[in-house]
Amino acid sequence: MTVKFDLSLFQVSLLAASSIIANSLFSPVFGLLSDRHGLKYYLVAGPLFTSIFLSFLGVLPDFYLILLFLFIGNLGIAAYHPASAAIAGHYGGMRKGLSSSLINFGGNLGCAFGSLLIIIIFEKAGIEYTPLILIPGIITSLVLLKYAPKNNIIISPGKSFNIFSRVKKINRTRLYMLSIILFIIYTLYIIWITVINYMPLYFTDKNISLINIGNILLLFGGLGGAAGLLSGYLYDHYKKGYLIIQAGLIISIPLFFFTFKTEGMLSVVLFIIAGLFLISVQPVCIRMAQDLLPGNMSLASSLILGLSPGLAGITMIFLGKAADIIGIAALIRYELLGLSLSLMILFVFPVMEKSRK
């Protein structure tokens, strides 16, 4: 897409922001709707709308049409995410951290395989064949239509539909703790959005082929999702989510930094391992938020998967312009400062946890 329309980094950031804003900022709205009306509608319609609109991106003739289709397609993701996260929380039993991690793993693996599939279609058949991606989306929706839980399985009857009224009822200490988690996800997603959208361009400049870039992104997302299974398991057993997150950030920050200080295979390996530790903390953040809002699991999930990533997407509009000026490597180094701030703030979390008890 970038090559076809000769896009600047700022225009790439607009596409990224459109995706994230649609599938994130609208996620709390769908979280409230699924809490109120049930999950099945959103589990089925989400993948169907996403596959319909996103599969035609390769044949659209105009940048602004792509922007529109990207936005509408990602609304389907916004509908699906809180419902699927609530399903994980409901059926997880004593292993809710692990069940949330499984959902996270599936999403990251699907995203990684999707990137590789698009590259293969683009290289082997041509960008005009991207509508073929519609087929697995339709199959997935049909499977969910048959096997997804009934709509009344997780409903919060009689609860206020107003998000602000729900937030007002949260204990102040819990609200502060939730704010810390939201800030962590915000800084995490800024890095995540940047590397997913800009690193293919960075690696292309390093003479790495598109197929190999697809394999790199597959490992980046797939191994990160797999590591999330371990972090979810650890959270279920030890309940020290802030320690798991701190460990992930302490390892990933320097690895991302040295990705741009090295060359060749070493740079690629550092990038993949950095992604492994960064992505692994997301399901822990989801579970910690759900534990802080046990009566509104869809809402809690949508705040983590919606509000913070959405704000990160808006921020990326401005960071895309900065990337045009200072370059991808310099931008990510500055973004790592925000992630480092999240790491520092986490040290107050156990103090708040004790006062909550």
**pLDDT tens column, 230-260:** 888 888 888 888 999 999 999 999 999 999 9
**pLDDT score recorded for residue 160:** 46
**pLDDT score recorded for residue 165:** 59
User: Is pLDDT of 121 > 80?
Assistant: no
* Alpha-carbon distances of 353 from 98, 106, 167, 298, rounded to whole Å: 22, 31, 19, 22
CA 134 – CA 324 distance, rounded (Å): 33
Weakest-pLDDT range from 65-69, 91-95, 104-108, 165-169 = 165-169
User: Is pLDDT of 91 > 70?
Assistant: no
User: Is pLDDT of 158 > 50?
Assistant: no
**pLDDT tens column, 22-49:** 877 787 777 777 767 667 778 888 889 8
Q: Is the pTM of this model over 0.85?
A: no
DSSP strand E in the chain: where?
none
**pLDDT tens column, 14-23:** 888 888 888 7
Contact 345, 223 (CB under 8 A): no
CB-based contacts of 238, cutoff 8 Å, min separation 6: none
User: Is pLDDT of 127 > 80?
Assistant: no
SS3 126: coil
User: Is pLDDT of 163 > 60?
Assistant: no
CA 257 – CA 194 distance, rounded (Å): 14
CA 55 – CA 43 distance, rounded (Å): 19
**pLDDT score recorded for residue 157:** 45
CA 278 – CA 225 distance, rounded (Å): 10
